[in-house]
Amino acid sequence: MTRTALDDIEAPPSARLLGWHVLDAKPADGWIRIGFDGKAAFCNPAGFIQGGILSAMLDDTMGPAVFAMTGGRLYTTTVSMTVNFIAPAEPGPIVGEARVVQLGRTIAFIEGRLNRADGVLLATATANARLLESARVLR
């Protein structure tokens, strides 16, 4: 696996709750693949992972794509995110992929997707994120 700036910071509690872990990355291309644990505790009464949890997984895939691409220099705060739920997500491993579409001076445009471990598409997203200097916002 490629080393990224993400290796130098501790995952926050929300990422740990989701079972967040980097699977692969191509920082120069603005691309990253993140693994998540789709826990039964995340399910709604129908037995599927709740959409807000899937949205959090997408958000926690797209932001790290920018962080890795910039060598940890820039941190994102999501301005807007549009999520499309394609198929119900059952408990089990979930894989997120994101790519930075455009990195501006103050805004990044990012695309993401979530798949089951077998490749079935679960959800897609696009996001606009404000860019902040990591040194000023990370503790």
Per-residue pLDDT band for 46 (boundaries 50, 70, 90) equals: very high
| Mean local confidence (pLDDT), 58-69 | 98
What percent of the chain has a predicted confidence (pLDDT) above 70?
Answer: 99
As given in the structure block, the two tokens for residue 118 are 């077998």
Cα 11 from chain centre: 12
d(Cα 123, Cα 139) in Å, to the nearest integer? Answer: 31
Q: Is the CB of residue 75 less than 8 Å from the CB of residue 11?
A: no
Domain parsing of the chain, residue ranges: 13-137
- Per-residue pLDDT at 1: 65
CATH of 13-137, one of 3.40.50.300, 3.10.129.10, 3.40.30.10, 3.90.850.10: 3.10.129.10
Transcribe 112-135 into DSSP letters.
EEEEETT--EEEEEEEEEEEEEHH
For residue 136, what are the contacts with CB-CB under 8 A and spacing of at least 6?
none
- Per-residue pLDDT at 17: 97
- 3-state SS assignment for residue 11: coil
| Mean local confidence (pLDDT), 79-107 | 98
Task: Name the DSSP class of 39.
Answer: -
